[in-house]
Structure 1
Amino acid sequence: MAITFGTIGTGWITDSWIDAAHKSSKWQLCAIYSRQQEQAAQFGAKHQCSNLYTSLAEFLADAAMQAVYVASPNNLHFEQAKLVLRAKKHCLLEKPATSTTEEWGELVAVAKEEGVFLIEAYRHIQEANYKLLQKLLHHDQKLGEIYGASFTYASYSSRYNNVLAGETPNIFSLAMSGGSLVDIGVYPVTFAIALFGEPKSQTYAPFICRTGVDGGGVIILQYDHFGVQINHAKAYTSTAPCEVYGEKGTLTINATTDIESIRHWDPRTKETQELAGPCVRVVKPNVNMLEEAVEFARIITEKDRVAADALAEISRIVVKVTSDLRRQNNILYPADTKA
């Protein structure tokens, strides 16, 4: 039986989630919340849902709803997710889950207290080709000893035009817990952490834009015997691929999301072999969220606490690392004063 869910947030990412959730046949949209009735009505009409709320309390009191997908502005994630969990609903929380490790720790504790699941909605580490990459590195030892890695996700944001025009859109606002690191940089950071675990240390050389947040920059994650370089940005674009280097060659990955290619270059034969399997394709502007929809439904339906705890630990490390990188560069959110 499909898991019934409601949504908080009416942006394009929520469109993608609803479409993927329904395509998976594991989920069924049953309610929509928006502070504005007109916005709720438009979004409901798009997704054939007439159960609309402008009161968050009434929305969360809906007994037919088992889970909530939260994709509101970053600074609202913590309080809204806590309300969802206290209402004994499973919570799928868009990245970045919270602004601080203290907030994330509190949400994890509340979820366990209420007997529900809290899962950060990182889509890319659920992709089949990402899991293949994990297998190639750790089970198959395709590269042998790891020497280092370089991961890139830098894509110019149309909203950066607003910054250049003197405006402060939410995603470039300190008050709204914005910036490139938490919006787009978390993808390669999570990519690295899900592959290699928690780094010993991390440093960040960001470009600070007019609004006080980072528009992009270069991160170094230091592990015991190698380092990972990360280039991310919303203020510029890079077409560089991602790579992992080792004693048995190099794996070149086309991107940190929507992986279509994993090529192994063998230093002995000087030959390159394509290893990637099929990639789920969707119609733009939507993004692929099908694999996470299937996995998250499985975790909830099977009550797989081991898998949920493993994902929660990745989320804890990511918010710990990104919070430290921000604070190193005086990129401070209102939540940081409470930590």
Structure 2
Amino acid sequence: MIRLGTVGTNWITQQLVDAAAASQQYELAGIYSREAATAKAFGGRNHAQVNYTDYTQMLAQGDLDVVYIASPNSLHFAQALEAIKRDISIIVEKPAFSNRREMTAIQAALAQHPKVKFFEAARHVHTPNFHQIERAMAGLPTVQGANLTYMKYSSRYDQVLAGGRPNVFTPEFSGGALQDLGVYPVYLAVALFGQPETVAYFPTLIATGADGKGLAVLRYADFDVAINFGKTSNSTAESEIYGLKDTIALDSAGELTHVFFRDATGQEQNLSEPALDNPMTPEMVDFARILQDPDAPQNVADYQRWLEWSLTVNQVLFDLRVAGNLRFPADQN
């Protein structure tokens, strides 16, 4: 069994812990929270072996194989680096790091600790429906771009409207719509189309100075990908990938719950796989496969592909922020 530690006790950490349990490949060896009461409650609810209020202590004493980091975005880098230096693999919630400088430092640390694996928790590109999209795209004679949408109203925006500054909406925590929901369609675009040649971003700023929603354009050699995302309103619009007369339609560029292929005659084929009980289970199964047998040829190839995606997404997110004139304090460190 893979000994797992966690950082963070919010809903996404709970979902990952549940996915780890469903995979039957992990044991929850330790959980970290800054607050003792929160650590005790989360650890007890999930039968963690030990609860910690000191992150360094968990890394030193937990005998961990891998740690999942779901703290505010601006804290990912320091926590990931500390784990790598202790030869502990890392699963970092997306977006993994705030800028290219942090990613470059992580790459250097990984080179010095070759047994350590770094996974970015981009759950949707590990799901069966993502693989259905890949297969459908392989059958298109040509690709002419895409419109990708992922927009959901955040309850924490109510706090902003009331004068608050929740972490997810503040530059000091490397927050905002691009870093939160925007990363999903950016990841999808990178995984399907590769690295764009140029990017543009038109953010809508909110009272905290962060972007509440925005429109991004990724320009490739032969087509563009338009990405519409936000946390201050809702959208039910489909996402689409364009061939010539054929279209691949998705319910959402983040959830990938339904996938359809529509041909020139208007006929529709439902490509959707059965709904997942937990959308994070496929990624946890994938990560376990690499951690348990890192030298198997297919595992080597898959890990390298995921790592390249992560590096490219990090660069694209940074380039989009520069294009939209969005800066984080983390950029100055």
| 2:318 alignment partner in structure 1 | 323
SS at structure 2 position matched to 1:159? helix
| Cα distance in 2 between the residues matched to 1:294 and 1:125 | 13
| 1:74 alignment partner in structure 2 | 73
What amino acid sits opposite 1:311 in the alignment? W
Task: Say whether residues 1:274 and 2:277 are aligned partners.
Answer: no
SS at structure 1 position matched to 2:257? coil
What amino acid sits opposite 1:154 in the alignment? M
Task: Say whether residues 1:308 and 2:299 are aligned partners.
Answer: no
Task: Say whether residues 1:220 and 2:211 are aligned partners.
Answer: no
Task: Say whether residues 1:292 and 2:283 are aligned partners.
Answer: yes
Q: Does the 8 A contact of 1:153 with 1:188 survive in 2?
A: yes
Q: TM-score, normalization: structure 1?
A: 0.94
Q: Does the 8 A contact of 1:153 with 1:238 survive in 2?
A: yes
What amino acid sits opposite 1:112 in the alignment? A
| Cα distance in 2 between the residues matched to 1:104 and 1:240 | 33
| 2:111 alignment partner in structure 1 | 112
1:305, distance to aligned residue in structure 2 (A): 3.4
What amino acid sits opposite 1:137 in the alignment? M
1:291, distance to aligned residue in structure 2 (A): 0.3
1:63, distance to aligned residue in structure 2 (A): 5.0
Q: Deviations over 1:195-245 (max 9, x none)?
A: 000001110111011111100111111111011111000011111011011
| Cα distance in 2 between the residues matched to 1:265 and 1:8 | 43
| 2:146 alignment partner in structure 1 | 149
Task: Say whether residues 1:199 and 2:196 are aligned partners.
Answer: yes
Q: Does the 8 A contact of 2:172 with 2:330 survive in 1?
A: no
1:329, distance to aligned residue in structure 2 (A): 2.2
| 2:238 alignment partner in structure 1 | 241
Which of 208, 213, 226 aligns to 2:205? It is: 208
Q: Deviations over 1:284-309 (max 9, x none)?
A: xxxx2000010010111110333222
What amino acid sits opposite 1:185 in the alignment? G
| Cα distance in 2 between the residues matched to 1:112 and 1:308 | 15
What amino acid sits opposite 1:332 in the alignment? R
Q: Tell me the C-alpha RMSD between the 2 structures.
A: 1.3
Q: TM-score, normalization: structure 2?
A: 0.95
Q: Does the 8 A contact of 2:290 with 2:303 survive in 1?
A: yes
What amino acid sits opposite 2:200 in the alignment? T
| Cα distance in 1 between the residues matched to 2:245 and 2:273 | 21
Q: Does the 8 A contact of 1:258 with 1:280 survive in 2?
A: no
| Cα distance in 2 between the residues matched to 1:131 and 1:109 | 31
Q: Does the 8 A contact of 1:259 with 1:279 survive in 2?
A: no
SS at structure 2 position matched to 1:134? helix
SS at structure 1 position matched to 2:147? strand
Q: Does the 8 A contact of 1:5 with 1:29 survive in 2?
A: yes
| 1:89 alignment partner in structure 2 | 88
| Cα distance in 1 between the residues matched to 2:328 and 2:27 | 35
1:135, distance to aligned residue in structure 2 (A): 1.7
| Cα distance in 1 between the residues matched to 2:162 and 2:135 | 46
| 1:230 alignment partner in structure 2 | 227
Q: Does the 8 A contact of 1:129 with 1:279 survive in 2?
A: no
1:108, distance to aligned residue in structure 2 (A): 2.2
Q: Deviations over 1:146-203 (max 9, x none)?
A: 1121111000001001111111110111111110000110000101110000001110
| Cα distance in 2 between the residues matched to 1:214 and 1:259 | 24
| Cα distance in 2 between the residues matched to 1:54 and 1:196 | 42
SS at structure 1 position matched to 2:200? strand
CA 105–306 in structure 1, closer or farther in 2 if over 3 Å, else same: farther
| 2:102 alignment partner in structure 1 | 103
Q: Does the 8 A contact of 1:74 with 1:98 survive in 2?
A: yes
Q: Deviations over 1:105-145 (max 9, x none)?
A: 2112212321210111110000011011112212xx2x221
What amino acid sits opposite 1:292 in the alignment? E
Q: What are structure 2's unaligned runs of at least 5 residues?
A: none
SS at structure 1 position matched to 2:27? strand
Task: Say whether residues 1:190 and 2:181 are aligned partners.
Answer: no
Which of 231, 252, 257 aligns to 1:255? It is: 252
- Number of residue-to-residue matches in the alignment: 328
SS at structure 1 position matched to 2:141? coil
